[in-house]
Chain A
């Protein structure tokens, strides 16, 4: 372009110079002038072209600039992103989840709690598994939270309920008072001195609530019944009870201070179980049995900490009868009063959680109560005190019909006491041989007695268990039953019978078990001789309902055994070459059935009696 312009300028200059020369020469210039003017047109064209090109260049430049700007922007973005990601990485590195501090359920618990969820997770990776677990945990916790709030609201409702009830009772009080004052003339007229009696037992109001309820029920029962089968009294001093109440208040006020002083106290508290588990200073002493005979004395104490009552029994012997041997039957009696109520655990619902706050366990408390001779917290005892209980098989019980229940329990204790006393009297009679078997049997068996009881001694449990016997092994699940064992020896001529007697601690629910060994031409037992086994069955099959009212269990069993032994010897002897025992008992046939059973059963019809199979 430049060259074009230059050539055009050169041409133009040449043309102008030509004109100038022509002018100076005075030649006509018109022709030259026209050619020159035409040259301007070309110049103008070139000029336009130049301008055009400049514009195009500028446009191109702008386009490139735009591109550069865009890529620069991208670069900036990327750089920013990089820095952001770097920051993120650092954050991730620093990240620590709170779940590590969470206490998760153990694997076993988890799979038992949510069995279907546990199954799903097996194919997941460990991290996902963990997440899954956390998820479940969250769900579980939410459910628990819901439960908690529901319980809370129900508690709130109950409190509200209580309050309204209390208010109602309070509103009763003035009406009652006016009623009382209104009936006073009537009382005077009828010579009823209700006030006096109530005033006498002022100490009663210091009893802890459960014992108070119990005592009032006892009092009412005592008033209703004509015969004095039991008496109840409150033992302890009013002043002590007052003192304790004061102390308790003081403790409450110092509680805040104590919390600050922290751990030190806790240790001190634990060592001082005595203080924590001190019974209420007042306790109830319940005496069952008529005055003059052997009485059962029950000491019933209440413990604030464990929220339940315990009972300790003791036999109060009257007269000169030797009561030492019988001491432990009181223990058996209370333990087996109701099945599955052995008093080995605290029956108060939720007590273990409450005890945890004072660093104690329920077992520890029961052990302590036992060591201190405070007795045991039986469920039946709580039911008399109107305390709600949960027994070992997790059954909740809250007795509301206190009157009937208490009466029933006391009657039951009295009945069992009677049975045990009769039993121990029988055992004493047998041990010291101060019973006359001949006169005793009179009203049972008219037939003569040929055997004699020569010995009755207490033996250890091991000695009893050295006997191999099906009967010993068939006993169903042991329900905390313990046994006392005795050995009796019965002799007739050259034959001797050893009887091993096992008396269960839940007597009279279960009868004493007899195991028989005959020593005569070798040792015959229920294991090797069917006649002995039948004899053992006949003795053991004696059921309470078969006894006549004035019969004693052990004596009745003993007579069955002795007569069976006689019959065994007489029937077996009839086959021997040298006859030692002759038939003395009235039986029809010595053997019957394919089992050749002996006539052990005693049948009496009017005045006719016989032994039969």
Chain B
């Protein structure tokens, strides 16, 4: 199979981000390519074909695990490394040179370079929280790139980190726990173990927590165990969502709850657990959803397929946008012939 076809067939997008100007959508995959979509293309009439995407390759050795956007920087979470790329809005181009880099320290007992699996940005204070493959959450100051502190406690790698305005940090990990941290305390302030709740446990799928989301009063998490809402004060499960797959993605969207994962549909529920929308997707598994309400209202769902799924009213699928095969300037580069050259066959004496 040709390299080009291979990338189309096995494109795995783990990360998406929207620029601060709300005009551009970034999507990064495990082949180390960042795609940029002009959001205003989504608002065009259906007659004209949508414009092509731009591609900014980061090198095939870079896994893009997470993306976030701060001021005019696209922040990339790769393996053992967080780096910033300057985004030039006028020229619509991403700098090829990294503006800054923060290396994740390798622990003494570690054998592998930790992935940066999830990042949460406190944009007011310019602080980045990065949940990593070594189970540690690093608090990075974006002013000077220093690692200010580490949050230790998880016994396996962190899947998801989110925070709220009160200075609380929430993290879900492969060890099955959701921990709540405070910037002022060394230890986690509280801990949830959804797999210990028999209503939530799905024994064949493990105890890991794939995604966490919070709003003012509620915490939403899911993974191997079923997705469920917990009250922030009491940490009691108040509602269980019957999403039929493993959960890799959950979020509060408007007044609803969006849940996705290893299933051919993404589902939207009310806070009481009533299924509102069942959106068919082509992804083998969904890993990322980003949304905004203005100037153009849309939600983009990405995952293990070559397509971004766009929903304009958060309920029905509007369009699917190809990534590979829909890139500016792609027609021009000819693929070099890569022929297998083998040693001459030796015939065994019969």
Contacts and interface: CB of A to CB of B under 8 A. Distances in A.
Interface string B85-124: 0000000000000000000000000011001011000000
Contacts of A552: 342
Contacts of B63: 593
B77 to A, nearest CB: 10
A509 interface: yes
B310 interface: no
Nearest to B261: A530
Contacts of B337: 339, 509
B139 interface: no
A325 B159 CA distance: 52
Given A474-B306, A476-B2, A533-B284, A547 B340 contact: yes
Contact of A319 (B1, B305, B347): B347
Contacts of A419: 340-342
Q: Residue among A321, A537, A553 with the most chain B CB within 10 A?
A: A537
Interface string B262-275: 10100000000000
A342 B9 CA distance: 27
Contacts of A471: 1, 5, 9-10
B6 A575 contact: no
A418 to B, nearest CB: 6
Interface stretch (A201-209, A250-258, A521-529): A521-529
A225 interface: no
Contact of B305 (A470, A545, A576, A588): A470
Contacts of A544: 338-341
Interface in A513-550: 513, 521, 526-530, 533-534, 536-537, 540-541, 543-545, 547, 549-550
A344 to B, nearest CB: 21
A28 interface: no
A591 B205 CA distance: 13
Contacts, number: 137
Contact of B203 (A339, A577, A593): A577
Q: Residue among B5, B10, B112, B174 with the most chain A CB within 10 A?
A: B10
Given A508-B340, A594-B65, A594-B160, A421 B345 contact: yes
B21 interface: no
Q: Helix, strand, loop or mixed for chain B's interface?
A: loop
Q: Helix, strand, loop or mixed for chain A's interface?
A: loop
A577 to B, nearest CB: 5
Nearest to A542: B1
Interface string B9-32: 110101000000000000000100
A592 interface: yes
A593 B115 contact: yes
Contacts of A128: none
Interface string B202-228: 011110101000000000000010000
Contacts of B115: 592-593
A293 interface: yes
A339 B334 CA distance: 13
Given A510-B1, A528-B284, A612-B112, A553 B248 contact: no
Contacts of B340: 419, 508, 511, 544, 547, 553
Given A536-B10, A595-B287, A474 B117 contact: no
A533 B10 contact: yes
Interface string B177-207: 0000000000000000000000000011110
Contacts of B347: 292-294, 318-319, 321
A325 B142 CA distance: 65
Interface in B305-350: 305-306, 337-345, 347, 350
Contacts of B291: none
Contacts of A509: 337-339
B60 to A, nearest CB: 11
Given A511-B1, A593-B65, A530 B262 contact: yes
A475 interface: yes
A589 interface: yes
Contacts of B341: 415, 419, 544
List the 9 shortest-distance A-B pairs measured between CB atoms, nearest first.
A544-B340, A508-B340, A537-B10, A575-B206, A530-B285, A471-B9, A474-B8, A474-B9, A530-B284
Interface of A: 292-294, 318-321, 339, 415, 418-419, 421-422, 425, 470-471, 474-476, 508-511, 513, 521, 526-530, 533-534, 536-537, 540-541, 543-545, 547, 549-550, 552-553, 575-577, 588-589, 591-596, 612
24 contacts: A294-B347, A318-B347, A339-B337, A415-B339, A419-B340, A419-B341, A419-B342, A470-B9, A474-B306, A475-B5, A510-B1, A510-B2, A529-B262, A534-B10, A540-B1, A544-B339, A547-B340, A575-B224, A588-B111, A593-B63, A594-B159, A594-B248, A595-B12, A595-B304
